[in-house]
Chains A and B, each alone.
Chain A
Amino acid sequence: MPKRFLPAALLALGAAVALSGCGAKSGERPLTILISVEANTLDPHFATSTIEWTILMNVLEPLVARADDMRVTPALAERWEVDASRKVWTFHLRKGVKFTNGEPLDARAVRYTFERMRDKKLRPRSTVPGRIALDRVEEVDAHTVRLHTRTPIAIVPVWLVNAFILPPKHYSATPPKEVLSQPVGTGPYKLTEWVKDSHIRMEANGDWWGGKPKIPTVVWRPVPETSARLAELETGGADLITNITGDQAKVLDGKKPGFQSFNVQGGRRIYIGIRTDWGPFGDKRVRQAMNHAVNFEVVIQKFLHGHGARMASVVLPPNNNPGVSSYKFDPAKAKALLAEAGLKDADGDGVLEANGRPLRIKMDVPVARYLQGTELAEAAAADLRAVGIHVEVQPLEWSVFLSNRRKKTLSPLYLHGFSSAFNEETDLGVLRPSLFANLTAWKHPQFVASYRDLRTAFDAETRKKLSYGLQALVREEAPWIFLCYQRDYFAASARIAWKPRPDERIFIPAIQMKEAKPVK
């Protein structure tokens, strides 16, 4: 059996090499992007994962989009305003826009889209109507539409970023099982082919209102193994690959001319949650001490290769309070704070005691969920042990971690990450005591009150003042050991120029194709 198998394997290998070689030489290859996971659905009202949103944002468009700097920007709505009651939002649609199947973009399409989002029979998973407390959608005229909300919600435009507008005829005439693989929108690209577990092909939409896209064809392919993605990039089979580690990016930059790596500060906030309802962790000084104990400078140098900085509080740029600075590595100060809180090492074994019981605890970390999550946890645990808190890292399968999170049985310390909608209110919201995923049990009256005010504040200055105050409070109270914003790494061939976005999405019109250079 092995003897018969070997020639076949060699033949297959040879064929693969030959094929990829051909692809690299012809120069006609479409822009090829390798992604780490496959999309499950391309129906925007059932989409949940980043890769699904990434594919969709190139085909469909919302009223309001997130620009490259993560601020909200006009898309299908040219402008919008909210009335004095703060519950009626008027959107003025872009004129002359057509869906790629010929249907016009008008108020009816917008109304259809929002009604489909909460269609009781279809049972979609879209959270938008709930987030904006949608009451009803009113067609004022063909190009003006009003969203009525039940309560004043200040950040309606932020929630609309994933509310892609759909052509009513196509989506009502096609059965749900078929429409999930045939998204039609107004976006820069048309989806022409989706072969599950193989590839997604897109062609440029020549009539796009933003101008005809320069790259005619784009192919997305799921390749789960990181090393396989890298190998395919190196052999000329791909132009852009996602989800690599900083270590791999560094090797690529150092060794391989003709390749480049990109990295960007992502939106996911990686932190170690402190369960303030556990023993001495109710004491603010102990939590501050743990923040001072962690040597994050060396983590930045060694894990992030000098990119980025330690997270100061919970809000991402551009909405962060620049006056709030991150905790500095200071083991002496950490020890002083712990002593002040009454924790002493009476028996001299190097582990502090609280009320006679040694501080031996576990730190839960989900396996393979966050980029180098286990390593970050181990590094932090080693620093905490150095100041007398004996922390042992306990890696858990993501499903076990989720189940323990739901049952609120995670260890006193747990490494976790919250993604971001790039808005101060949602960024701060991850610390509200009622959030199921927040196990810190941190209930500060000032936080609760100010956060409530922030939710109903429409005036930008007031919001900024409240948000800055809350950020400073969170830093001071330290319900987390603040770590970092997850760094997202990409690698690419030399023939593209691109600047990645912080929200892990890839918007094709932002990619430039360089002129093909003659091959030596």
Chain B
Amino acid sequence: MVRQEAPALPDEESASLGPERVGLGQSLRRYKTALVGLVFLSALLLTALGAPLIAPHDPHKVSVADRLRPAAGMRGGSRANLLGTDSLGRDILSRLIYGARVSILVGLASVVISGMVGITLGLLAGFFGGKLDDLIMGLAEVQLAFPFILLAITVMAVLGPGLFNVIAVLGVSRWVAYGRVVRGQVLTVREKEFVEAARALGYPVYRVLLFQILPNITSPLIVIATFAVAGNIISESSLSFLGLGVPTSTVTWGSMLSEGREYLRVAWWLATFPGLAIMLTVLSINLIGDWLRDFFDPRLRDLA
């Protein structure tokens, strides 16, 4: 939402909050679910960063003699492999920990790319309007009309599996959400006095766009980006599940899920734990996203 008060200086805008608003920390205390999500996500982030220190085993260490060992506490389980081992005797916990790196990296990096593309195009379309607007929004319509997973599969089949290819595909194909929201916001903001003042002062266009307009439209973008991280983690898992994502030499939750599917009747823990990891991560991000949305737009909270 657009803030009503006129900003004093560009640098202070992002920090300034309305007098009727509560602080982030205070709001978080009210939203217990978001707090849980935040704690889980922080723990996951630390785990991913410290994977070599935390993981009990090398995630690629094959040990056929220990294959399909159930989780600790079950019959035949062992404390050496807390969550059991997969069909090649690799430690599932260690693989989950290393897999978190890929999921987080893909989720964040692709959001950064799609955000940059979408925000740039949205700013241009909204600010200049006319033919450029028609062109960019037409492009967005085309992109939206194309099923995402089909596009991703086609591009991955052509480029071949690879971590950076996955990030690029997810990044480039998901810009529309940002582009459309940014354009709409720009349309409302660009007629405001402070924008006109900036233009009257003779600021170059890029400066008006980046320092006057953009800081005033960030709150919906943060919400979109949060949900997009979750969506991209799922998309990466889907692509890896289909064998079109990250090559098998890199551990990912999606490929673990795919391998586990064949053993569902024999060893349920192969697919269950990566499935739970994906579910909990996405749930946490969505809880945080819900909270952020309500935080930035209290009217919605009242409706709910």
Contact = CB atoms under 8 A, between A and B. Distances in A.
Given A378-B88, A379-B88, A392-B249, A227 B265 contact: yes
Interface stretch (A96-104, A295-303, A509-517): A295-303
B87 A375 contact: yes
Interface string A369-392: 000100100110110000000001
A248 interface: yes
Contacts of A301: 65
A247 interface: yes
Contacts of B263: 247
A248 B64 contact: no
Contact of A302 (B64, B249, B264, B266): B64
A93 interface: no
Interface in A247-274: 247-248, 250-251
B96 interface: no
A395 interface: yes
Given A247-B68, A302-B67, A367-B243, A379 B62 contact: yes
Contact of B62 (A250, A303, A378, A397): A378
Given A248-B266, A375-B88, A379-B88, A299 B64 contact: yes
A475 B151 CA distance: 50
A247 B266 contact: yes
B266 A303 contact: no
A450 B61 CA distance: 44
B68 A298 contact: no
Contacts of B154: none
Contacts of A397: 243
A466 interface: no
Nearest to A295: B64
Given A367-B243, A378-B88, A379-B88, A227 B264 contact: yes
Contacts of A395: 248
Contacts of B249: 392
Nearest to A251: B266
Given A367-B243, A378-B88, A379-B88, A230 B265 contact: yes
B243 A302 contact: no
Most buried by A among B248, B263, B265: B265
Interface in B202-220: none
Interface string B106-128: 00000000000000000000000
Nearest to B61: A382
Contacts of B64: 295, 298-299, 302-303, 379, 382
A406 to B, nearest CB: 19
Interface in B234-288: 243, 248-249, 262-267
A298 B266 contact: no
A382 B87 CA distance: 14
Main SS class of interface, B: loop
A301 B262 CA distance: 20
A226 B262 CA distance: 8
Interface string A224-236: 0011001000000
Contacts of A379: 62, 64, 88
Interface in A137-172: none
Interface string A391-413: 01101010000000000000000
B87 to A, nearest CB: 5
A372 B68 CA distance: 14
Interface string A292-311: 00010011011100000000
B258 to A, nearest CB: 11
A372 B87 CA distance: 9
A301 to B, nearest CB: 8
A302 B62 contact: no
A393 B262 CA distance: 19
Contacts of B67: 302-303
A295 B65 CA distance: 10
Nearest to B65: A298
B268 to A, nearest CB: 11
B266 A382 contact: no
Given A298-B65, A381-B62, A382-B62, A247 B267 contact: yes
B57 to A, nearest CB: 13
Contacts of A375: 87-88
A302 B63 CA distance: 10
B52 to A, nearest CB: 18
Contacts of A250: 266
Contacts of A299: 64
Contacts of B65: 298, 301-302
Contacts of A251: 265-266
A299 B65 CA distance: 8
A129 B93 CA distance: 58
A227 B266 CA distance: 10
Interface string A279-319: 00000000000000001001101110000000000000000
Nearest to B267: A247
Contacts of B62: 378-379, 381-382
B157 to A, nearest CB: 10
Nearest to A372: B87
A35 B64 CA distance: 30
12 contacts: A226-B262, A227-B265, A245-B262, A247-B266, A247-B267, A250-B266, A298-B64, A299-B64, A301-B65, A378-B88, A382-B61, A392-B249
Given A298-B65, A393-B248, 20 more contacts: A230-B265, A247-B87, A247-B266, A247-B267, A251-B265, A251-B266, A295-B64, A301-B65, A302-B64, A302-B65, A302-B67, A375-B88, A378-B62, A379-B64, A379-B88, A382-B62, A382-B63, A392-B249, A395-B248, A397-B243
Q: Which 6 A-B pairs have the closest CB atoms?
A: A382-B62, A247-B266, A379-B64, A378-B88, A302-B64, A298-B64
